[in-house]
Amino acid sequence: MSVYESEETALAHLLVEVRRRAGEWQGNVGEDALAEEVPVALIYNGISHAVMMASPDRLFDLALGFSLTEGIIAHVHECYDWEVREEQNGLAVHLTIATQRLAALKERRRSTTGRTGCGLCGTEALDQAIRPIPRVQAPTVEDTAIARALEAFAAHQPLKGATGAVHGAAWCSLEGEIIYVREDVGRHNALDKLIGALAYDETPLERGFVLVSSRASYEMVHKCASADIGALVAVSAATALAVSQARLANLLLVGFARPNRHVIYHRPAPHQGEAPCPPTQTTT
């Protein structure tokens, strides 16, 4: 196993002074766990395409998921090989992709440094900002499944538990069982890592939903739809653009998810034979 497949590479340890007030302020020195954050470059057939700040673990998942959600490749089998190399100022993931995919990438290549912030850095024109979104088949996700996944979510996020500084993205069965979790300092990166893992394992995507520890932004919805994932549940709110894109994609979008409450921003039309549901509602 590559060292960069281990969550231990995403942790640093530092001696810090902790100040507490118990009548008077007092301090003591202890060890604290910090989340590593390093520049990670994605290089396709020798051509550098993107640089992002990321947690230095599960880097193949990150590179594969990014490649799929950005449309650089259409299928996992179009990525032939990969290698992580330590550079002077960060890490570089070298991928070898199909020749026709490289040709297409060269035609639309742009600088995307800093994607963990807004996801649009390097976009050259306004008409490139909101890309066409594919339609997906949304599964039926019961309230009890969302609650069950939320209850178990924290126990599956060791980096967040140790540092409090990372996001998590989980793949959950329709019964609410958490099957995969990926973590990263960037919410987009955590989702790309999850999508990469799902694609590599050829997971049936009609039998589950994604749960993220962040808000549901436009790009989080777009990444799910691009990966043919039909349901996204977010711990925080959804943006207006995320909701409109979810409607275009036929994607089930849930936000403000708590163990006993969540907001359904968009529920796709039911399949034939199913009872209709209101498009937006809050469950308590």
Q: Residues with catalytic annotation?
A: 118
Sign of the dihedral through C-alpha 270, 256, 262, 194? positive
Pairing of strands 281-283, 261-266: antiparallel
Residue 68, classed as helix, strand or coil, is: helix
Structure tokens at 178: 């958490």
To the nearest 10 degrees (0 to 180), the angle between helices 59-69 and 187-200 is: 90
- Residue 193 and residue 61 in contact, taking contact as beta carbons nearer than 8 Å: yes
Q: Rounded distance, CA 232 to CA 266, Å?
A: 10
Sign of the dihedral through C-alpha 120, 107, 246, 78? negative
- Residue 224 and residue 205 in contact, taking contact as beta carbons nearer than 8 Å: no
> Which DSSP string corresponds to 182-194?
EEESSHHHHHHHH
Structure tokens at 82: 């990969």
**Which 8-state DSSP code applies to residue 73?**
-
Q: Rounded distance, CA 30 to CA 280, Å?
A: 48
**Closest to 130 in 3D by CA, of 39, 242, 227, 214:** 242
Structure tokens at 49: 């395409």
Q: Rounded distance, CA 284 to CA 282, Å?
A: 7
